[in-house]
Structure formats: C-alpha cells, structure tokens
Structure 1
Amino acid sequence: MSEQDLFYLLALLRVEGVGDIMAKKLLANFGSAEKIFSAKTNQIAATDGVGSVLLKNLKDKTVFEKANRELEFINKNNIKVSFFRDHDYPERLKHCIDCPVLIFSAGNINLENKRIISIVGTRQITSYGIEFCRTLIEDLAPLNPIIVSGFAYGVDIVAHQLAIENKLQTIGVLAHGLNQIYPKVHKKYMSKMEENGGFITEFWSSTNPDKENFVRRNRIVAGMSEATIVIESADRGGSLITANLANDYNRDVFAVPGRVTDKYSQGCNQLIKTQKANVLTNAADLVYMLNWDIENKSKPVQKQLFVDLESDEQKIYDFLLKNGKELLDIIALECEFPIYKISGILLNMELKGVIRPLPGKLFEAI
C-alpha cells in the first residue's frame, strides 16, 4: 500500500458516519478511498446505506488534516499498517464482517504460523488460574502457537509472560493508540513483548483507553484466533464478551471448569453449561478439538506429552490402543474391572481427552 493510498484511507475513516462496514461498501464500489473523495454525489448516494448526512460529511476537509497528522505519527514511529485486503493482515480476521479496515502494529509480529489462540479471563486471576495457564502454555509450547490476549491485568498479562518464558510469540491487542500503554504499570513488559511479538490496535494515536474501546478490542482478540480460551471469569466480564464474539465468528471456544462455589469459575461453568464452550482440562483437549497435527501422533507415547494417566486408566488406554473399538462390557472383562468401577474410570479418561465414546456403548482411544 502506497503512502498516498494510506493517506486517503485514513481520511475516509475520519469521516463521521463511516465505520468499518460502510468503508468496505464504499471501497467495493469505487476501488480506492481517493476515488471516493473525487466521486460525484449521485454516484456515492447509490451506495447502500449512504444518506444525506453522510454525503455532507464526506465534504468535510478537516479529515485530511487529521489523516496527515496520523500519517506523520506512523512514519515517525515506524508503525506498520495493514489494510484488510493485504496478505499480512490477520487471515481469520479478514473473514469477520466487522473487522477493522486498518490495523496498526508495533514490534516483531509474524503471522505465518496459523496456530493462533487467544487466552482471556478475569483481571483477578487466582493461583488455580495461574497454574492452569502455566501448564497449558508449557504443554503447548512444542507446537509453537501464537498467544493473543489483551495486555490487561490478570489472565492477560500472565498469558503474555508465560508465552515469553516459553519462547512463544505473543500479541497484545490494545484498546487505544500506539502512543501510550494501558495499564501504565505494564510498560515494563513492552520491550519483551515487542521482541517476542508485539502489539496491534485499530485505534489512532489520539485514542485513549475509554471503556467502550475494550469491547471493540475484544472482537479482534476473538476474530484473529483459531480458538478462544477462557481461563477464569466471574459471571460477568469482558472475557465472556470475547467468548460470545468468538462463537458469533464460528470459532472454537474453551473454558476451564472450576468449583461451583468459586466466584471466578462461575463464568466458565456457565459457558460450558450453556454449550457455548468446550471443557478444557489440559492441552490435549485443545490439540484434539482443533485437530492440530503432532509428529508421530500414532504412537501412544504422544498422548503422554499432555496427560498423566492413573495406572487403571493406562491399562484401559493400552488395551483400546491394541484392540481398537470395544464394548464397555468387554473392556471391563478383559481389563478385570467391575462394571460399576470402569464407568467412572472411562468418564475420567473421556474428560482427559484420551478416549471417546461411540454409539452402542463402544469406546476407542484417541
């Protein structure tokens, strides 16, 4: 994208009443932002959704002054700008109808790796949430996923830090411009973030971290990722908004279950209860549900990279690997377990993601 094209795109996005969806309609009709500004009124009026107010706003010359100031900031601070039609724009985000026309980024971001997951949750993360997040990212590290989050307190910053510790690329999606950082206490993490990924935002340098921007930010977190993981959440919060957005975008959503009495498990449990999220108990659940390839995955030892099985569970798992699909009664007989006991063992193994039930009381190893 040339600097001239960027200038006119910036100007178009400063026109009052032109959001991402309207901008895309106009660009589809005229081919470029520059042509929109030079088009005749009756030509622009033919675009669906354009009314008299917007036609008037498109004649506002101050948008060019604003665009010029932002372009100066971009050039001075070496900001990378991605247009939604560009090859370096997040691929999955392109398919979201309300994706930003432009994304601004800083750091060392490389989106060639298609395994991108978002990790979100409460700002009041507990020790349970920290340890789960630690184990999850450590176990996923061999698969080299990109970890996306919102650079906020709690789950967000823990996920970013653990990604860096495990030498994974991590991306913070911001709810403000790249001329500042919020919260300010996280400024100390910026250099490491930019070395191991960086920051992206749709907001201009003049934009402050206002409340409504965080909801807009969440659609990027959900839209650019293959899956969204909610580690901990109360019954309300931004992470649940992100989960709902991910569902709207037809993305996989996972939630970590917790005790019904725990405040910061209520949101996750509700997502699972209402079938808006898959249960996530370990990395193997994610790998299986996303169908991520693992080298030598036909070998039983691969499952042990992610799951520790009890001796009874290992005995059943080895039997199913050797014999394939088997009836519950046959498994109980051959593995020498009473029926009442094996049902509970099989349920635990199913939750661990190492076996799956099939119609007719059959089970098979994964």
Structure 2
Amino acid sequence: MIPGVGNLFTRLLISYCGSAKAAFTTPAGRLLKIPGIGQNFVQSFSTHQTTALRQAETTLQLAEQQQVQLLFYTHPNYPTRLKQIADAPCLLYYKGTADLNHQKMIGIVGTRQATEYGKRITEKIVADLKKHNPVIVSGLAYGIDIFAHRAAVAAGLPTIGVMASGPDIIYPAVHRKTVEKMLENGGILTENTFGTKPDAPRFPARNRIIAGLGDCTIIVEAALKGGALITADIAHSYHKDVMAVPGNIDASVSEGCNFLIKTNKAAIYTGYQDLEELLNWDNALAAPAVKPSKSLLYHPEEFEPEEWQIIQLLLTTKEELMDNISWKVQIPVSRLASVLLGLEFKGVVKSLPGKKFALV
C-alpha cells in the first residue's frame, strides 16, 4: 500500500531486512545499501508508512468480517506453484475451502464468445478429469471460463475463480450464484484489495495467476487476440504445459487454438489421455509418491532451526537460487550465506553454478 513498493521491492526489502516488520524499523542508511534502493524510494517509503499501516489495519478488519484469508507469500497456505514465478503477487486475498496447494490443478480458459461446441467440450474435459480430482482454475468470465466453473461444480470438483477485482466485488455480477456454489468446495482468489474495480489492465495481470496456478492450461476456444491467448503465452513463458482444443478452421473462435497448435506453443487436446500423457498422470490416478529415502537421512534434532528449514525446502524443490531460499525460509541474505556455508561443511548442501544450492 506504499507507492512505489510493488511485488519486486517487497521481496527485496524482506530478503535483506528479514521480515516486513524489520523493513519498517531499518534505518534509512541501511536501506540505501540494498541494491536497487535509492534516495527517492527511501523518502517515499518513510513518508507513506503511517498512512499505509492505517490502511492495512482497515484491510485486516474487512478480511475478518468477510472471511477472506490474507495470504502473504511467506504464509504456509500461499500457493507454492506461484512461488516459482518471478512476477507472482506477494499478497493474495482468498475466500473459499479449496487447497491452493492441491496435488493436481488444471487451468481452463477461453473466449467469452463461446459456441455450443466450446461449452460441450469444456464440460467433457471437466467430466473426464473427475477421476483425477483436480482443482479447476479459471477466470470467472463469460463464456468458457464460467462453463468450466459450472461444470466443476456439477462434477463435485473444487474450482477456483481468479478475479481482476477485489474479493468483495464479483464480476460479472450475474455469476454471483455460481460463486456461492463454488465457495462450498472451491473459492475465489485475487491480488486486489477490497473495493478494487475490475479495470481493463487488471485482466492480463489476473491471467498470470491462472497460468501460474495450473500444472497445465487448456485453451478451449480463442480468437487470435484476447485474454485466452495472453494466458497461454504467459503459461508458456513460465515453462508450464499448455494444451489447445483444435477447432473448425472457418470459425474465428478457433483461430487462436489452431494457431497455438500450429506454432508448437500448445500440445493438441483431443481427449483426457493427451493430458494424462503430457503430465505423466499414471493409470493408478495418483501422483508418484516422493521417495522417502533421502529425507530419512536427515533428522531435525541434528540441525539448527534455520538449517532444518533450508533442508526441508531443498527436499521439496531439489535445487534453489540463493535469493529464492532467502525469501522462502525468511532468512536475510546477509545471514543466509553463513548458514549455507555451515551446511556445506556438514556435507549436507552443495553449491551449484549460478548461485544455486542443492542437497548432496
């Protein structure tokens, strides 16, 4: 809520200061030593602190009243899939019951001008995926998006609507009844604070959350220009899997999907088997179990709390950049170097090229 402090600077401040609270109490001289922080930034940060903290207090009260969870990126319920992307929001407003770290999550998006073919295929995709019990993620918009949400509700699958507005503004308003059903076994998610209207620039920003949450994003129908193709491009840039449903070559709402397939930006979707093969979902309908052998080599009582946090992180992610380790386990970079060095001496962690670290 402080002007000039976006997602990047928030992570930067917390990485170097250690916590949000510490960022507010760090002297200006020390803030200026942080790479990328200049005098104008420090002045703005100091000037607007009091107002921002009052606004934050109001937001906390609204969240409590409206049963909205505030998920900062250090919160254990923050989606781990989003932590892997550089431009992920630092704070999410979430209302619902679905697990944002569910084992399987699929994004389904498409044009607002959906045809009967698009609606039928969307419903079939969701029905076919029911045996995998994924969370269906979409954007709550007219057309393919709302068909995906309704199909998930009908199938008893959890579904999350990612919004371009605040958590208290359902847009389009006509989808409110669907949202009420979604909240029973799903939820709504946004990076925008209470009272935020769904202005046009917020929709592409919303799309990156959909792209980041899904293990795969399926484009059902899309024109050559529009939000669905933006979502596909973003997912592709995140090195996420993208699939597209082929359509009639004469139909404008199929041009986008056919283009994605033709340019190899999306795998073709002709049935659920294509998705299972792409994502390595086996016929037993369960994700491969994590082999416990490596984790059994380490015992928490043998390490300091900070060391154990790093070990747990690397057991999950296999390898991490030093900066990512810093903000994920909340250890300032200045201290993290010595903790990692200690783990290297113990023969637990090894340094990799590019400031990356992994377990031995």
Give the structure-2-normalised TM-score.
Answer: 0.77
| CA-CA distance at 1:296 after TM superposition | 8.7
Q: 2:4 is matched with which residue: 3, 17, 23? A: 17
The structure, 1 or 2, with the larger RCO (C-alpha pairs under 8 Å, 6+ apart) is 2
* Corresponding residue SS for 1:46: coil
In structure 2, distance between residues paired with 1:27 and 1:170:
32
* Corresponding residue SS for 1:211: coil
| CA-CA distance at 1:52 after TM superposition | 2.1
**What does 1:209-358 correspond to in 2, within 5 Å?**
209-295=198-284
Q: Is the 8 A contact 1:254 1:278 kept in 2?
A: yes
Aligned length: 284
Unaligned runs of 5+ in 1: 1-13, 298-366
Q: What per-residue deviation string (whole Å, max 9, x for no partner) do you get for residues 153-208 of structure 1?
A: 00000000000111100000011111111001111212101012010111100311
Q: What per-residue deviation string (whole Å, max 9, x for no partner) do you get for residues 89-118 of structure 1?
A: 112111011111111111212235311010
| CA-CA distance at 1:145 after TM superposition | 0.8
| CA-CA distance at 1:54 after TM superposition | 1.2
Q: Is the 8 A contact 1:164 1:193 kept in 2?
A: yes
Moved more, 121-130 or 102-111: 102-111
Determine the structure 1 residue equivalent to 2:27.
40
In structure 2, distance between residues paired with 1:238 and 1:93:
19
| CA-CA distance at 1:79 after TM superposition | 1.2
Q: What per-residue deviation string (whole Å, max 9, x for no partner) do you get for residues 320-342 of structure 1?
A: xxxxxxxxxxxxxxxxxxxxxxx
Q: Point out 4+ residue stretches in structure 1 off by more than 3 angstroms.
A: none
Aligned AA (2:234): L
RMSD value over aligned CA atoms?
1.3
Q: 1:129 is matched with which residue: 112, 115, 118? A: 118
Q: 2:178 is matched with which residue: 184, 189, 203? A: 189
In structure 1, distance between residues paired with 2:127 and 2:177:
23
Aligned AA (1:278): A
| CA-CA distance at 1:267 after TM superposition | 0.5
Relative to structure 1, is the Cα distance of residues 179 and 280 closer, same or farther in structure 2, using a 3 angstrom cutoff? same
Aligned AA (1:153): Y
| CA-CA distance at 1:274 after TM superposition | 1.1
Q: Is the 8 A contact 2:80 2:101 kept in 1?
A: no
Aligned AA (2:246): P
Correspondence 1:169 to 2:158: yes
Q: Is the 8 A contact 2:132 2:285 kept in 1?
A: no
Correspondence 1:86 to 2:83: no
Q: Is the 8 A contact 1:16 1:54 kept in 2?
A: no
In structure 2, distance between residues paired with 1:57 and 1:113:
39
Identical aligned pairs, as a percentage? Answer: 41
In structure 1, distance between residues paired with 2:114 and 2:186:
23
In structure 2, distance between residues paired with 1:261 and 1:251:
29
Unaligned runs of 5+ in 2: 287-360
* Corresponding residue SS for 1:93: helix
Larger Rg: 1
* Corresponding residue SS for 1:130: helix
| CA-CA distance at 1:16 after TM superposition | 0.7
Give the structure-1-normalised TM-score.
Answer: 0.76
In structure 2, distance between residues paired with 1:136 and 1:178:
28
